[in-house]
Structures are given as structure tokens and as C-alpha cells.
Amino acid sequence: MIKEKNIVIVTPQLSRLGGVSSFWNALLSELKMYDDIAINNVQIGGNGKNILGPVLDQWNFRKAIKKNIDLAFLNPSLGSRSFFRDALFAKQLIQRSLPFVVFFHGWDLDFEQKVDEKYSGFFLKTFGQAKIIFVLSEDFKNKILEWGYEGEVILETTNVDASLLDGFSINTKIESLKNITTIKILFLARLLKEKGVFETVEAFQNLCKKYENIELIIAGDGKDLDALKTLVAKDSKIIVAGYVEGKNKIDLFEQSHIYCFPTFYGEGLPTSVLEAMAFAMPIITTNMGGLKEFFKDKEMGYFVEPKDVKQLEEKLELLLNDRRNIISIGRHNAHYAKERLLSTVVTKRLYDCILEVLE
């Protein structure tokens, strides 16, 4: 009989919104299907205004690793709060001589500079003791190596929850695209100006002067939602759907034809971009963060310069004028996502790395 290896995976509260929560909501159920590992998920944060919240997180983690465990999996972002909290988790593991791996999801470029200036030594004494570090960008990998890390750094992706695609047919969507009259452009993300939502609106409104049969759907929630609603209140071709999930989110992806995400935020690898690819959509985005190495210009869609509305118009127009281009790029993206980005596929890659460390 196979002896199970016990693994502690530290995540944010999985009921809360966020890329890391979405990532592990999809992967945990997949990992639990392997019969040679046992998963204990320690959820941290969610303590509200409780000033003892950080202490509670450390205490809960301490309780989890007091049990017989073989490996811990930390999931920080490179930002002030997460960096120090998870570094203390790493210290606890080091004190107990327990092996661990780290997956950096978000990456704050301003905080990266602070690590350069003050915390690179602290990084090496904590996260630098990990067996493997996963990142979402070649730039992030190079920076970690520059700080002196001597272990293995693996470039990984976020994932598309495979259950989202239950019942979805690439061919059915492609066939419908040949006959529809209105091309639907989708923006789905947190509604922050840094995500490029206002540039998307401006480019779309300029294109409306030349094209009648186009529509922009904006989905998401965030601090700039009210300002956005005010801006487009009188524009009947722009629909602000607000936050969507479940079937409503799936319907938006199935019914939309072009995904527009001209972010100038310090992205990791946005899940929404991968999801749009899985639903056979060409992507228009920028070379920020993990997108820089992952995204293939002209194969997956088009890169635009951040904040460049004119270029955004031009790239959208390339697709609006050539429906066969929408179809060919969309088909390529859907097959690429199926082969490399689904949660089942990403889980298998992480599982293989976990076994490598355990052995």
C-alpha cells in the first residue's frame, strides 16, 4: 500500500475574490485525487480589522506544521504584507527542518526595488531556503537569481478551471461567429484604471464612429466602477455587467468574440486572459508582468503599448475587419489552453514537482 505524503498548502481564504484563491480553488480538488499525497489546506487572512490577525495567521500555521508533514507549499505575492508574513512561515519551517516550495503570484515592482535595496539578505534566509520557487515571469525569475537564490526557479502559469468548459464546444462557437452580425468585445477584470478600462472605453467609442455592429461588455467590480458607470451612462453600445461568476461568467465568455485587456498594472499572469483564450477568443493586451513572455503577439492576438488608445483602436480594427482572423486566432488559443492551461494540466505539472522534492 502506498504511504501518503502529507502536504500543507497555505492559501488566502478561498471564499474571497482574488487570483490566488481562484488558482487554488481549481487545483486543490485536482490534487486531492492523487492517492499518494494528503493535502491540508491552511487558509490565512480574512481577519478583518482584528489587530491580532497576523499573529493568528502565524499561530494557525504553527499548529498545522506541528503535525507529521512532509512538505509545505507557500503562496505569497511580492508585496510588503505578504512578503513578511510568508517569510515568517518560511522561518518556522526552517526551524523545524521541513522542506518547502514557494509560488510567487503577484509581483509589486516598487517593492521589488525595496528588496533590492534592503531585504535581499532577508529573502535568502527565508524564501531562499525553498527547494523550488515558482514564478509567472522570466523577469521575476531573473530577479530571484540576482538576489542570490541557488535553487530551481520554474516558470509556471496560472490556470483555467476545467469545469468552466463543461459543455463548451470550440466548433459551435466558431460556426456561430460566421453568422452573427454584432461583434462583442469583452473586458472582464477588476475595475481599476490601471487595468486599462478607460482606454478600452475611449478606443471603443472612437471605433463606433466607423462601425455600427459592435458592442462592448465590461464585467467586474472595483473602486472605479461608479466612475465608469457615469462615463458610459448614455452609451447604449456599452454594457456594464458588474461582477459576474458561475453561469453568468461562462455565458459572457461564450457569447463574446474579442477580449480586450490593455493593462498597465504590474500583472502576474491574469487568469481572465487565459480563460478568454480557452473560450476561443483573440486577446488584445500589453506586455506587462507575466504576459511579456507568455503571450505570443499575432499568434494569440495583439500586444499594444500601455495607455496608447490609438494603437488599441488599430489592433481592434484589425480583428473587426477580418472575421477569419478572429476565427483562426480564437481556434489556436482554445487548443493552446486545452493543452497547457487547464487546471488538470497545471495540477499535473505541480504534482510532478512536488514528487521531485519529496524524493
Give residue-wise pLDDT tens across range 130-175.
999 999 989 999 999 999 999 999 999 999 999 999 999 999 999 8
Query: How many C-beta neighbours within 10 Å does residue 234 have?
Result: 7
251 plus 151 within the same structural domain: no
Question: Cα separation of 215 and 238, whole Å?
Answer: 6
- Domain count for the chain: 2
202 and 282 part of one domain: yes
For 44, residues 6+ apart whose C-beta sits below 8 A from its C-beta are 10, 11, 12, 13, 57, 60, 61, 85
Query: For residues 209 and 205, what is the distance between their CA atoms, to the nearest angstrom?
Result: 7
Same domain, 118 and 265: no
Question: In terms of pLDDT, which residue wins out, 128 or 20?
Answer: 128
Report how many helices (DSSP H) and strands (DSSP E) the chain contains, helices first. Answer: 15, 12
Whole-angstrom CA distances from 105 to 57, 137, 173, 267, 288 are: 19, 10, 32, 9, 14
- 39 and 138 co-located in one domain: yes
**For the chain, how far is it from start to end, CA to CA, in angstroms?**
17
Same domain? 114 vs 149: yes
Q: Which helix (H) or strand (E) holds 301?
A: strand 301-303
**Same-domain pairing of 87 and 202:** no
Are 142 and 224 members of one domain?
no
Looking at the structure, do residues 264 and 324 belong to the same domain, yes or no? yes
What is the pLDDT, as a whole number, of residue 289? Answer: 81
Is residue 193 domain-shared with residue 328, that is, in the same domain? yes
Say if residue 81 is in the same domain as residue 13: yes
Q: What pLDDT digit, counting tens, does each position of 234-256 carry?
A: 999 999 999 998 999 999 999 99
What integer pLDDT is reported at residue 48 of this predicted model? 65
Amino acid at site 316: L
Mean pLDDT of the chain: 93
CATH number of the domain bearing residue 246: 3.40.50.2000
> What's the CA gap between 83 and 89, in Å, rounded?
10
Cα–Cα distance measured from residue 283 to residue 303, given in angstroms and rounded to the nearest whole number: 8
The mean pLDDT value for 212-224 works out to: 95
Same domain for 49 and 185: no
pLDDT of residue 118: 96
Could you tell me the residue range of the domain that residue 305 belongs to? 162-340
Element housing 283 (H / E): strand 283-285
